[in-house]
Chains A and B, each alone.
Chain A
């Protein structure tokens, strides 16, 4: 009986890293978008802060997540 500890270890490591990275990125994106909404409301009432960076950052985060999903689909098909 040979247990493939290396494979088990890399499954553990990869799952951990990818999950935390993806969830972190997605959360940043969601938070960025909600900040932008708050900013828009603030502007409507005369506040007006720069919302552009937050929005661009949020879309960058989502793009990375979408790339990860695409890679996941590629793994399933291949």
Chain B
């Protein structure tokens, strides 16, 4: 451990923060419909999901050997590029959380990596074909696969149980839904915590702390599992609200059909080898279940906002990643500034979210204003979306505005990470 340099330390902390936002962002996938149909109380649901995520992190020993799965050329990938990519991914995750939009954390990471790699090594470092097959095509396929399955399953279950009354069966469907949601949580812990372990391990290898091909040390596995579980437990209530109530209203039968189709599609895709994003599968399943019931309605305005966010994930995270890489290239002070900007940006987003908090007490309430997104941020949402709409220039501008005030008073921000990063610029980073 004595060989861990300052930069490497920052990358590890940032990777764990990304892991945290990942858990935080993706609680909704497993638990949104479970909460909205009343199968589990909000706090119980996130606690169960957190435990299963933690268990999942220890279940599989096969840690991701690459970060991007071939999207970028990872030979000679520098530690600072990984750092810049993480910054892009974290900021995009937080922004979409503020807007209450479910979007893929993996795609955000890919976007950040692409941006940082292009800035560092040029366009040739990106495999365009792999971007299409691993990101764009799955983004279209995932909601279709899960959505069609959920629609048909919902129709079937309504047909079979048409002669029994709703009350006597609701309990059974809720129990079934909890089982499906548990599978989704477990699969998420296995996949996504492995991803963070992969990043940290790769950074340790790049930094010369571990030998190439080494397995992750125990502390990496434990800390990655804990970070994702903690994020899951704190719960991205805004996104849970959107998925559980904003897209459509679900009865226990529909919730069961949606969650089962999501679990099946996730396991089938990871087993057969055409990986689909968990978030997109789950959103598709929820919409499909909404359409499957007679008279069921999907709120397409919310769905459209979500689709726009999916489309923007790659370019937006990429732009932030590229900007961060431009800064980190300047040397130690650049890395410190980037870390300070990350902390500052996160603080601004958190402060904005406090204006209209959504938490476990009001996550399924009828009234916080407009269906998907709490009422007051509706203004924020529309302006932010307006600013974000013209890709790809928008998001970076919006973020830049958020971040603008911070460089000046960066040393004053008291978060431990930035304090360490900023207070220490004189110490030579040996990478």
Contacts and interface: CB of A to CB of B under 8 A. Distances in A.
A and B from one complex = yes
Contact of B153 (A1, A2, A20, A65): A20
Interface of B: 56, 59-60, 128-130, 132-133, 137, 141, 144-146, 148-150, 152-154, 156-157, 160-161, 163-165, 168-169, 172-173, 176, 179, 183, 186-187, 190, 253, 256-257, 260-261, 263-265, 267-274, 276
A75 B271 contact: yes
B356 to A, nearest CB: 36
Interface in A47-69: 65, 69
A75 B165 CA distance: 36
A54 B261 CA distance: 26
A36 to B, nearest CB: 10
B274 A18 contact: no
Contacts of B187: 76
The 8 closest A-B pairs by CB, nearest first: A1-B129, A30-B172, A23-B153, A7-B274, A19-B149, A34-B168, A19-B261, A15-B265
Contacts of A29: 172
Contacts of B276: 11
5 contacts: A1-B130, A3-B133, A11-B268, A15-B149, A19-B257
A8 B140 CA distance: 11
A11 B59 CA distance: 24
Given A1-B133, A29-B172, A72-B267, A10 B272 contact: yes
A67 to B, nearest CB: 12
A31 interface: yes
B257 A23 contact: yes
Nearest to B158: A27
A20 B160 CA distance: 12
A56 B179 CA distance: 21
A31 B172 CA distance: 9
B360 to A, nearest CB: 27
Given A11-B268, A72-B183, A30 B133 contact: no
Contact of A76 (B59, B168, B274): B59
A33 B172 contact: yes
Given A10-B272, A76-B59, A16 B149 contact: yes
B133 A19 contact: no
A76 B60 contact: yes
Contact of B141 (A8, A72, A75): A8
Contacts of A38: 168
A23 to B, nearest CB: 4
